[in-house]
């Protein structure tokens, strides 16, 4: 039985046609804006909590957020796996396969979210003890964490839906609902923390409830939008059975998703090790590093956004058999990355004192230390970004183990090895120079794997069952869902 081929329709962007340069840029910009909004939201929420509830509450949210990051890392992996499957299916004009992948991802994420919420609510005290949460912050952290776990299914689902939409070529809808989520969170945080107007003051629980409400409203909104606009990934009638993941879909989600999620965890673990080494240098250096990290967070965003955009665009072209476009997609992705990140680095270095004073006030000694870090390490984020582009292209065809091995080796072996060898001669500068040392090695290894080309022979698409195809053909009634390849 052949694949069911449908017109992509509204809400699905064809990334296999037209000029690569403008198509890629227009697709990447909404993802970059979403990332910036999300980071700004986190920073502003931390300001609300720190200013209104004090250092104990801020410590409580920091401890809870470590656990949340680990969960989102895993879900990010599953989301990226579903993104590339959906993108390959859309590229092949097989909308039924895209719906099957989307439904399986949503169903799997729903089950995972419910399990995590239940286990997290029960195990929250043990988790906080495991993290050695300070006693004075424990009670607040427990309340915050349990409210967040309560909302976990909706929060994870909205992430999965947005990633699925990007796989279908739609980066605008996720941006719209990211704006909705951030707006709700920003408004509700001070209202629920302080108890403005008729609303009682809920303190730390109010901050968690604001984040939870934002996630739930966004999920309801994006699902309603999917059906109101009759977007291609919506499921109706017999297609609702796709929400129960089949064994072959689960193999792709777990087999490809876990290594992708582990990449995020490896990067996070490396960051924790680095903080431990920085702490040995004293309070001044730690404060300077904290300020530098705030700026570096934004430097990483073009790499993550462009890597995701390149991955989705490459996957669609692979699905369409347009391998002739893959090298140019990679080239344009690297070009945009170097241009945007390079411009950001120039701005950061030119206005370093004003930017660093936002975090360090008038502490000129700390500003000088942070400036030294910026000079030695900031440019390495261009190398990091190029590596993420190459990983994104390979990921588009389901190659995920090689990137994980390269990241693990460079972040721990190369970076820490460089630090140990260079520290006697360079002192703390060995820490900042370990960034370019690790990034350069990662880029060389990623390029070696990419240039070798073995990743092109991988197979990602889940095989289509003939009986499922037949049932879908017989049940599909909407004119927009009929066999009609887009020109």
For Cα atoms 60, 63, 64, give the angle at the middle one, nearest 5 degrees.
Answer: 85
Which residues, other chains included, contact 362 with Cβ-Cβ below 8 Å and sequence gap of 6+? none
Residue linked to tokens 């999965």: 160
From the list 150, 72, 156, 69, the residue with the least C-alpha distance to 106 is 156
Query: Domain map of the chain by residue range?
Result: 19-245, 258-469
Q: What is the pLDDT of residue 77?
A: 84
- Residues facing 483 on adjacent strands: 6
For the CA atoms of 463, 467, 473, 476, the dihedral, rounded to the nearest 10 degrees, stands at -90
pLDDT score for 383: 94
pLDDT of residue 137: 75
- Give the pLDDT of residue 310: 93
Residue 326's nearest CA partner among 8, 85, 15, 27 is 15
Residues of the chain with pLDDT under 50: 1-9, 462-487
pLDDT at 241: 93
pLDDT at 268: 78
pLDDT at position 481 is: 31
Provide the pLDDT for residue 381.
92
User: Are 297 and 40 spatial neighbours (Cβ–Cβ below 8 Å)?
Assistant: no
């Amino acid at each position: 039985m052949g694949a069911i081929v449908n017109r992509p329709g509204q809400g699905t962007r064809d990334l296999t046609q037209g000029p690569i340069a403008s198509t890629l840029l227009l697709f990447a910009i909404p993802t970059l804006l979403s990332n910036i909004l999300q980071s700004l939201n986190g920073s502003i929420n931390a300001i609300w909590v720190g200013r209104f509830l004090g250092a104990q509450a801020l410590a409580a949210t920091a401890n809870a957020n470590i656990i949340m990051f680990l969960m989102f890392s895993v879900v990010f992996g599953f989301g990226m796996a579903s993104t590339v499957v959906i993108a390959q299916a859309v590229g092949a004009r097989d909308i039924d396969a895209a719906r099957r992948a989307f439904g399986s991802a949503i169903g799997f994420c729903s089950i995972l979210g419910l399990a995590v919420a239940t286990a997290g609510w029960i195990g929250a005290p043990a988790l906080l003890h495991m993290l050695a949460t300070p006693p004075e912050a424990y009670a607040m952290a427990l309340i915050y964490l349990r409210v967040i776990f309560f909302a976990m299914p909706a929060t994870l689902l909205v992430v999965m839906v947005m990633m699925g939409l990007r796989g279908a070529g739609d980066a605008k809808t996720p941006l719209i609902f990211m704006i909705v989520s951030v707006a709700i969170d920003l408004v509700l945080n001070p209202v629920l923390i302080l108890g403005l107007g008729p609303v009682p003051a809920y303190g730390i629980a109010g901050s968690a409830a604001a984040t939870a409400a934002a996630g739930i409203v966004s999920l309801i909104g994006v699902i309603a939008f999917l059906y109101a606009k009759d977007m291609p990934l919506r499921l109706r009638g017999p297609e609702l059975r796709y929400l129960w993941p089949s064994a072959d879909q689960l193999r792709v989600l777990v087999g490809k998703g876990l290594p992708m999620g582990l990449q995020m965890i490896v990067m996070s673990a490396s960051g924790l090790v680095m903080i431990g080494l920085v702490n040995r240098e004293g309070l001044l250096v730690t404060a300077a590093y904290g300020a530098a990290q705030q700026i570096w967070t934004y430097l990483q965003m073009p790499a993550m956004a462009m890597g995701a955009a390149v991955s989705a665009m490459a996957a669609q072209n692979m699905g369409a058999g347009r391998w002739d476009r893959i090298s140019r997609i990679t080239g344009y992705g690297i070009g945009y990355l170097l241009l945007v990140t390079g411009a950001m680095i120039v701005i950061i270095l030119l206005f370093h004192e004003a930017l660093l004073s936002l975090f360090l006030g008038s502490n000129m000694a700390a500003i000088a230390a942070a400036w030294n870090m910026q000079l030695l390490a900031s440019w390495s984020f261009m190398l990091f970004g190029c590596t993420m582009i190459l990983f994104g292209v390979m990921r588009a065809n389901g190659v995920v183990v090689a990137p994980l091995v390269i990241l693990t080796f460079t972040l721990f072996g190369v970076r820490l090895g460089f630090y140990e060898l260079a520290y006697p001669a360079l002192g703390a500068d060995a820490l900042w120079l370990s960034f370019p040392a690790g990034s350069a090695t990662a880029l060389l290894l990623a390029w070696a794997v990419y240039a070798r080309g073995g990743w092109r022979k991988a197979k990602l698409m889940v095989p289509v069952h003939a009986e499922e195809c037949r049932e879908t053909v017989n049940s599909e009634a909407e004119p927009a869902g009929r066999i009609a390849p887009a020109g």
